[in-house]
Amino acid sequence: MPNWYLGAGCIAQTVWNSLHGFELTRNIQDYDLAYFDSTDLSEETEEKTIRKAQSVLGDLGVTIDVKNEARVHLWYKKHFGNAIRPYRSIEDAISSWPTTATSIGVRYEESGNLLVYAPFGLDDLLSMIVRPNMKQAEYFLTEDESTSREVYNQKAQKWVKAWPKLVVSIQRTFATEDGTMSVMILPFDLDWRSIDRETPRRLSL
């Protein structure tokens, strides 16, 4: 499998389980095995890779979600409502994942060394902070990010119930007087509806 990483939620959630004192596999629904092969974008070849991975890893007794990140742009809009540009590499794909804490991939090199790719560092992950990956918008081909925000907020609501020590933020966007859009990040336990929408604040991450 070319240019692969085990990544996203399964890595972050393993860390969160450890920091909560839970069993390491608790609440992990699947394990994302991402790879990058731009030489063949066919669904048939991806399906063959999925079957091979499931055959090799089937004895682990977990659900393995295998995706060729080189072809994600072909189906992303249908599933999530936004068209995205093609990823340039597996690292480029990881850098677009929804949260800073889950934008992470790990793999063992042939040398036996563990390689970790974490474009936003590990501070948020180890501090159990969940915040939106604001760079994700750079991948969209349209300016409408509403679907992405709702997907993020739904994930955040689910995660904070499973891992109550998480410090989670929600993302809302409001129109300003000059017609631009200003992103507001609020603590998850605040009621965003009670905030004065006429005075949006900007947050630099």
How buried is 11 (Cβ within 10 angstroms: 0-12 exposed, 13-18 middle, 19+ buried)?
A: buried
Residue 72 region by backbone torsions, left for phi larger than 0, else alpha for psi between -120 and 50, else beta: alpha
Most distant CA pair in the chain, distance? 58
What average pLDDT does range 22-26 have in this prediction? 96
What average pLDDT does range 32-49 have in this prediction? 96
- Nearest-Å Rg of the Cα atoms of the chain is 18
| pLDDT at residue 199, rounded to an integer | 36
| pLDDT at residue 87, rounded to an integer | 96
pLDDT band at 198 (very low <50, low <70, confident <90, very high): very low
pLDDT tens column, 158-194: 999 999 999 987 655 555 666 555 454 555 544 444 4
CA distance linking residue 143 with residue 137, whole number of Å: 8
Indicate the domain borders of the chain.
Answer: 5-139, 146-194
pLDDT band at 43 (very low <50, low <70, confident <90, very high): very high
| Mean of all residue pLDDT scores within the chain | 83
- Alpha helices (H) along 28-182: 43-57, 76-80, 90-94, 123-126, 146-162
Per DSSP, the three-state class of 188 is coil
DSSP H/E element including 190 = none
Task: Name the nearest CA neighbour of 128 among 16, 43, 22, 35.
Answer: 16
DSSP H/E element including 14 = helix 9-20
- The per-residue DSSP string of 140-165 comes to BSSS--HHHHHHHHHHHHHHHHHSTT
∠ CA 66-72-76 to the nearest 5 degrees? 115
Report pTM.
0.81
Say what percent of the chain tops pLDDT 90. 56
pLDDT higher than 70, residue 12: yes
